[in-house]
Structure 1
């Protein structure tokens, strides 16, 4: 019997189990346990959730998340959009970097040009299909073609400092979610003078990062701890209720839970192995996080270029079983690339409920699709290799499950 090799095109949204209780005796300090490490505090390069958590603490963008999950003003104090929807003008509040420098519109222009110059991880967010900022797609095309970008090229990006407190952004089409994008770290400002003085060290240590947000990073020991103190120069310092934030890095869930019980930490992420032990505790909470795990087929592989083979691989994965019986952490099987709960219309309808379902489990149909795919390829069997990173804890579980599906 032919072995049905496993691959999933869209897996699940990861929901994290958290214990949160404010157990620390020092109410002026909040201690957060993280299973992951901070990798990078350069907003042009940072790409992981733990680094983003640290960046959110020390830097504000034009916009930022509000308590209720909506988007509110950050460094911007007001904004307006032209009638055709193509020109976004943000007026900046009187805000300062933690060294006392004023935050200016040029800090955004510099940072946005820099992400292309450095070929940062998220420069594609500026391009067509996402932010649609004028000139961004042309810069991206040059990067893809391995062409060097000149200052003249960078100056064609549709972002301009009209004056120190006015930032004007031009898009090629109307983007209804533009304000929400402006809260994402790749759109954060960078103090040019400080950054250039740090050179390649920028964002690699507590001393080489400059913020304008609620906290200042005072200590960062990779793989161990990151410490932050309240920023007295923050424009909304009176609203910051704690004096110190501590992130305990690379803590195993069991260790984090023990620290929580001992009153040494105020927030601890646990895993499915600990759910039964803590699910009746009043501090136990199930929190939806914005993560979607999926497997991307390599279409340069001639076997995976076959539609029926890809269809078979997707149909072979029992996502519901994986979430409920293996992960057991609240994860949900994703029915499409945009998971449930991520996008809600003004009428309150979930995008996933109104869109089609693109994933399902049907082993019989999977075998039929595989048989047809093998026939089209002129082969009796195929062998595929699954490549995955080990920097996020579920990945080894996913890989083992897929291998045995």
Structure 2
């Protein structure tokens, strides 16, 4: 899924203002009365409509307020959600029959039925919905043809045998499909409510209904999201949190200040702050499976049609220096497209260990490719615009990349254009950019979740790059090779190396996060695939001292 960088820098006036507002907020977003988890997030969600989003922040919220057939546990393994148990799968692996629990309800009291899944999946694939994630359902029978307008949504290979029995047919057996069913796009929708609100569905807290552990009580766009426990949820007895409050805040220094005043329980912090909190029990670092890279738009920039120019750019950035000096949050330099931690090789090792990438930092080779490009293009100077998000830290990141490229490729000028996240993504979708600092996180535990987005015609491949051989390799990996593990694995490795050798994207780093997390927060589950967290089992243990992380003395 689309993701974004989250490092920010110090703006003391804003920090002070936020602290003042926190102190006088009463029972608002910073209130800690009872069981409440308060978290700073760097970006707002884009919608509550599961058919309409592509960003990681929205999918994370979906994990809390919706529930699919299956959910992911703390090790990213699928466990029954609305499903009553394990699916019954036909001998050929294509037909799945799933019994639904009869006590699952929507927050308005309606039962959650098999019809809700049929409606939701048909709606995602209906071309009128314009769901950018429709392709994730293409393994369902007739799905691709429906999304292309060649068949009707009612011809999708999914049906309700009765209110509590769902059956669907795949085009081929998919070994990781149960994990895919936990992903946000596959979650159910209440047809009555969707039709009631029409185009307004999911745009406000009261224009949706929820079947997860929490409901959305309030959503103030670009300000806050406030959840409360869902008393209609079938498993409500295990949910200990009464409230979850998210504060949208782009400045991480302000987030740290809020943490220091006990106003929030979790916030990301910037590179400069890591050293300050190095001995604090609240400091936590984690490496996510998301990767960040430069998209090089050869559809708009004629110079990027030249392979040597693309290779020159991709080899000209010192990634280790970048993660050390700019990020300092547990991020790692990356020369690959697929994130480490996404998938396993047949021998159980990490899939990415097999990749031999040519896109390592190598200023000498970068210059050699650059000289070839200049000769072929008949020019000695080039100007490119680099789009990035509109935060202080993203500006610092872009300035580092700019300095590296201009230093190692004399004659290249990089101009930085900062845009709000949604606008940067919109520019990518319309291919109205030169270079875009972009990212992607996995939706299911297989390298295809990354590699497929660079196939010809994929809505996320907006670089103007197309390779029919690459396309076919992925079709084979997602078709006839599914039961041939070794051959399939090698095909995926070969496809990724083919992609990297052509460099339509320039990998920079794998995302890490440095958090300040209240030591009182227990059972917070993080995920490498799908939404970032699960809060169903989380709670606040107030017998723990927030400052020391140890049990309070009685």
TM-score range, shorter chain: 0.7 to 0.9
Q: How is 1:291-330 mapped onto 2 (pairs within 5 angstroms)?
A: 291-300=290-299, 301-330=301-330
Give 1:275 shift. Answer: 0.9
Distance 1:380 1:43 in 2: 47
Q: How is 1:52-131 mapped onto 2 (pairs within 5 angstroms)?
A: 52-78=59-85, 79-94=87-102, 95-117=104-126, 118-127=129-138
Distance 1:171 1:54 in 2: 28
| Counterpart contact for 2:66–2:187, Cα < 8 Å | yes
Distance 2:364 2:31 in 1: 54
| Counterpart contact for 1:62–1:73, Cα < 8 Å | yes
Give 1:98 shift. Answer: 0.8
Structure 2 residue aligned with 1:276: 275
| Counterpart contact for 2:7–2:393, Cα < 8 Å | no
Structure 2 residue aligned with 1:338: 338
Unaligned runs of 5+ in 2: 9-29, 405-554
Give 1:55 shift. Answer: 1.6
Give 1:35 shift. Answer: 1.8
| Counterpart contact for 2:289–2:341, Cα < 8 Å | no
Is 2:54 the counterpart of 1:47? yes
| Counterpart contact for 1:61–1:189, Cα < 8 Å | yes
Give 1:269 shift. Answer: 1.4
| Counterpart contact for 1:228–1:245, Cα < 8 Å | yes
Distance 1:195 1:13 in 2: 29
Distance 1:171 1:384 in 2: 48
Give 1:237 shift. Answer: 0.6
Classify the secondary structure of the residue corresponding to 1:175. coil
Across the two proteins, how many residue pairs are aligned to each other?
A: 376
Q: So what's the TM-score if we normalise by structure 1?
A: 0.86
Structure 2 vs 1, CA of residues 85 and 392 (structure 1 numbering), >3 Å: closer, same or farther?
A: farther
| Counterpart contact for 1:388–1:395, Cα < 8 Å | no
| Higher relative contact order, chain-length normalized (CA < 8 Å, sep 6+) | 1
Q: Which piece of structure 1 moves more, 184-193 or 51-60?
A: 51-60
Q: So what's the TM-score if we normalise by structure 2?
A: 0.64
Distance 2:365 2:357 in 1: 16
Instruction: Please give the per-residue CA displacement for 1:289-314, whole angstroms capped at 9, x wherever unaligned.
Output: 34221222223243212222211111
Instruction: Please give the per-residue CA displacement for 1:295-336, whole angstroms capped at 9, x wherever unaligned.
Output: 222232432122222111111122111111222222111231
Structure 2 vs 1, CA of residues 246 and 191 (structure 1 numbering), >3 Å: closer, same or farther?
A: same
Classify the secondary structure of the residue corresponding to 1:385. strand
| Counterpart contact for 1:15–1:331, Cα < 8 Å | no
Distance 1:397 1:167 in 2: 50
Structure 2 vs 1, CA of residues 232 and 13 (structure 1 numbering), >3 Å: closer, same or farther?
A: closer
Classify the secondary structure of the residue corresponding to 1:112. helix
Structure 2 vs 1, CA of residues 335 and 120 (structure 1 numbering), >3 Å: closer, same or farther?
A: same
Give 1:270 shift. Answer: 1.2
| Counterpart contact for 1:24–1:30, Cα < 8 Å | no
Structure 2 residue aligned with 1:145: none
Distance 1:44 1:176 in 2: 24
Distance 1:73 1:392 in 2: 39
Classify the secondary structure of the residue corresponding to 1:388. strand
Distance 2:146 2:370 in 1: 41
